[in-house]
A and B are shown apart, each in its own frame.
Chain A
Amino acid sequence: MMDLLEMLGFGDQGWGSALLLATLLTVALTLCGLLVGSVFGALVAAAKLSPRRGLRVVGELYSTVFRGVPELLVIYLFYFGGSTLITAIGQWFGAEGFIATPPFLVGALAVGMISGSYQAEVYRGAFLAVSRGELEAARSIGMPTLMLARRILMPQIFRLSLPGLGNVWQMSLKDSALISVTGLAELMRTSQIAAGSTRQYFTFYVVGGLLYLALTGLSNQVFGRAEARMGRSQRRNFANP
């Protein structure tokens, strides 16, 4: 029992501080992924809703590829492909040898692109749920498109997409564990290192799993509060008591 406390504690022999730091890194990675994903998601949603056929095809292709191919394969593409690309660019500028891509960047980009394909569906659904009448009303009083987007569309899309974003966030949180294959010392990788060096595999994977559960539980709370706050101005109904 004492061993366990020492091993998970914050002393010299303890992995406590490393695990907490790794948890923060996982959160940071997922947050960056969510931000990258929101840009891609918004672009893909716009492409899918576009009246132009070419753009719609591009949007569909993006969704199909990033939602149909295993996340691990996408991460390999970014990790190995990114290194090859950067090395080629480096050689072009006269650099010597192989240049590895920074794992955090690759991770944020990979998690973000995958999360973007799911976010696109969330935004598209939210856009379609905004009442057409309100948009027509805004147009009929001569509101310019930019103001219409800022005053009518965006606030509603944000509120309507919040529950969906909560799901995407959880998914990205779990996808971020796969970034451990690039060697980035986030929670999964740190649990692996701790497990390997202490030979206490079971203990450290259970602790790692519990930390992930704490993160998902916490994010449920945060999104629940955010939804309640955004819904204050809404009429109370069955789904929003």
Chain B
Amino acid sequence: MIDFDFLLDTLGKLLAAVPTTLGLFFLSLLCGGLLSLAIVAMRVSGYPALSWFARGYVLVFRGSPLLIQLFLIYYGLGQFEFVRESPLWLVLRSPYACAVLTLALCTAGYTAEILRGGLLAVPHGQIEAGLAVGMSRWTLLRRVIAPVALRQCLPAYSTEAVLLVKSTALASLVTVWDVTGVAQQIIQRTYRTMEVFICAAAIYLVLNFLLVRGLGLLEHHLSPHLRARPSAAPIQARTV
């Protein structure tokens, strides 16, 4: 009943597309992460103009579907003559670069809010203590605020990373042949939807599992003080 040859063949073709998916994921994670730092810095800067810009950014990129953002950048920007003649066109012409750009812009909006949540969770007393011992603002950020805030963010960030892996599938709609794109091609050619779906789903589930596991280990590693203490050696009965 089960056609193992077809399953293996499909799995092989889909696995060949995994590097594309991973490339989209890591590039957009990196760019989006850096961008989100800038946005959260603006958001908490205290300057009304910068703060409102960051609010607007988050609102727009979290409030509209990723697909329309992708099409706006890939098809929409090409409409203008000056964009096509500018050096930017070298980047905006390629579907892969457009997909990375859109994914990065979108994930930056979500990540900025996660980071802001982490910043708000830094106890005020710790910041005051740092100031009281005469730390400079930069040292305070590096030694006190960043470590506490980043660790607080990790659980929410791992959710966002999984959402980003799932979002890379949209790149297939602008002709980037990632796992979903290849799966769709095979489905349209063979009409064996269930088998292809199972293979592609398995690949995504494994990727997400590894990602969640990795970030979970990192979180575990970074919060030794929150773990239950290892049970100490049994206390020796002391002779008085």
Contacts and interface: CB of A to CB of B under 8 A. Distances in A.
Contacts of B209: 68
Interface in B186-202: 187-188, 191, 193-194, 197, 200-201
A170 B64 CA distance: 9
Interface of A: 64-65, 67-73, 76-77, 80-81, 84, 170, 173-178, 180-181, 188, 191-192, 195, 199-203, 205-206, 208-209, 212-213, 216-217
Nearest to B66: A174
Contacts of A64: 205
A177 B68 contact: yes
B130 interface: no
Contact of A84 (B66, B76, B191): B191
Nearest to A81: B193
Interface residues of B, number: 41
Given A71-B166, A80-B191, A216-B63, A65 B72 contact: no
B181 to A, nearest CB: 9
B170 A199 contact: no
Contacts of A195: 71, 75-76
Closest 6 CB pairs of A and B: A70-B169, A177-B65, A202-B76, A81-B193, A205-B72, A216-B63
B67 A69 contact: no
Given A68-B208, A76-B197, A181-B173, A174 B65 contact: yes
A71 B170 CA distance: 9
Interface string B52-86: 00000001100111111101100111111000000
Given A71-B166, A73-B180, A174-B64, 15 more contacts: A67-B162, A68-B166, A69-B166, A70-B204, A72-B180, A73-B201, A76-B187, A80-B193, A188-B65, A195-B76, A199-B79, A202-B72, A205-B68, A213-B63, A217-B63
A209 B193 CA distance: 32
Which has the most chain A C-beta neighbours within 10 Å: B66, B67, B193?
A: B67
Contacts of A178: 65, 67, 170
Contacts of B188: 80
Contacts of B172: 72
Interface in B149-204: 162, 165-170, 172-173, 180, 183-184, 187-188, 191, 193-194, 197, 200-201, 204
